[in-house]
Amino acid sequence: MSIAKIAYWLFIGSLFGNVVVWAFIPSLGINWTSYAVLLGLALVGLALWIFFSLDRLVAWLKLRSTQFGLSLFIMALMTFVILGVVNWVAVKKNFKKDLTSNKLHTLSDQTQNVVRGLKEEVRVRVWTTNIAQMSEGVDMRGFFDNYSQLGGEKLKIEIRNPNEFSADAEADQIRRNNVIVVKAMGSGREARIENFSDSKGEEQLTNALIQATKGRKKVVCFVSGHGQPSLDNREAQGVSTLKEALEKSNYEARELLLVNNEKVPADCEALANIGPRNAPLERESAILKSYLAAGGSMISLIGPRAPKEWRDSFKAYGVEIRQDLLIDPYRPESPIFVATRNYARDVPMTEGFSLITVFPEASSIQVPTKSESEDLTVRPFVSSEARTYTKSGNIAQIRDVRPASSDLKGPVPVGVLIEKALASPPETSVPEARGDVPDPMAEHPEGEPHKKKERVILFSNDLFVVNGVIANAGNSDLFMNSLSYLLQDSELIGIRPRDLRQTFLKLTSQDIRKVWGFILIVAGLFIVFGFRAARRKAVLA
């Protein structure tokens, strides 16, 4: 065997031996001097091989194929270097692009609206002894940086160790690790996150910002006494999950028994009527009519099982809930569960909304083609998909859901926004009817007198917010957006924060060494055998 071949295999063996020992058998306890010896042998072998193969190397380098291959290699190496530099700059300058399908590393629409809409300076103190240990899978510094960049000068985030800032920790009453204190510096209002969860971190922090900056809680009164689901019912047909969502947005949910009242209480800033099963008394209907005529707001979920009196109560606006059942043929196992993402883009609560909403047992809504009054607007903002159709009749009597030529074809409205401007202040004083609301003739931002409106949001389905269904993709967000619109909380409209339920691949430092070792060995083998094949081809030529 020639000296050149011995030197060649000395180089290859020493180089690969170094990688194998480093990546796969560090338990041998080899120190850095051993690695240096192996690397030195590799360099000696490379030098000897070049010296004794110089003539053949020069001839090989003159070949056009060799020059072309080297050019490709240099281009690939430069591309790798450029990508590395770009990645380094992005990390140092915090430039980010979220390429995950569910925008896992991007703050939600609602969070962006809340943070950008801050009217006063807010301080967020994160009390932790080790921020890296606040989460196993989420980069918490990057998480808080997202908020800082979005809030600018209005949002100040301080990460502090309670052992180093004992005086401030005592002032904030820190008694445990990983506590977040949010304080609105102007008003002094404060919210705390005592049990931080990385999977719900954005939801917790955003809700704390809302609580600290919104001030008093707006009251939403849920009409009861007609078979509506209870706010405290945690069973599948209850709405306790909806109540919790309202409380997170700094709303107070309260049940209202109309029969025990002469009028809607003054502190009810919006009414909600979800799934009545019994007809209202005439006096109750009169109370609701008077409340709306005074500029009130109400969200009504009236499904096909609701009595005729409730379905007909919207005819005064030219709106009628038909007595039919909507069918989705794409769900043969449960065709009465209608899934849709057909939303109007000119209505604030669905502008940019793209999540699927599921409506179990929905009817169609008939809306006027043209309003009889200039002060009345009726706008469908949620409709079924074109594939759907309706089966006429009482839901309890419908047996055959197969399509027929007489069926009404989709898309048909299932959610409608009704707004009626009041030309002049009503006789009933506004504070008595509705609580603290703006002057109906106050100056509009554009300089025009702003007419006070009665607002009604109507859904022809009452089950999409019950506990057993509300967890579907867009159900909770759609209802909350609708309610925030009625309460004129535009910054709360948007897709809410999602749980960060990720599956993480946990790798130890030794596991990472093995991965890198495998990559280096495979890449090295490709280079070695490619080089040998190219040399043989050159020799044969």
- From 415, 469, 485, 476, select the one nearest 242 (Cα to Cα): 476
CB of 120 closer than 8 Å to CB of 184? yes
Q: Where in the chain is the domain with CATH 3.40.30.10?
A: 109-211
Which CATH number, 3.20.20.105, 1.10.10.10, 3.10.150.10, 3.40.50.880, labels domain 218-484?
Answer: 3.40.50.880
Query: Model's pTM, two decimal places?
Result: 0.70
Count Cβ atoms within 10 A of the Cβ of residue 80 and give its class: 0-12 exposed, 13-18 middle, 19 or more buried.
exposed
- Mean pLDDT for the stretch of residues 417-423: 89
Residue intervals of the chain classified under CATH 3.40.50.880 are 218-484
Residue 515 banded pLDDT, cuts 50, 70, 90? confident
pLDDT computed for residue 527 by the predictor: 67
Q: What is the pLDDT of residues 338-395, one digit of tens each?
A: 999 999 999 999 998 999 999 999 999 999 987 667 789 999 999 999 999 999 999 9
154-198 pLDDT tens trace: 999 999 999 999 999 999 999 999 999 999 999 999 999 999 988
Q: What are phi and psi of 13, to 5 degrees?
A: -65, -45
Residue 433 confidence class, pLDDT cut points 50, 70, 90: very low
Q: How many CB atoms lie within 10 A of CB 102?
A: 10
| Cα–Cα distance, 324 to 315 (Å, whole number) | 17
Residue 328 contacts residue 358 (beta carbons within 8 Å): no
Domain 109-211: CATH architecture, name and number where available: 3-Layer(aba) Sandwich (3.40)
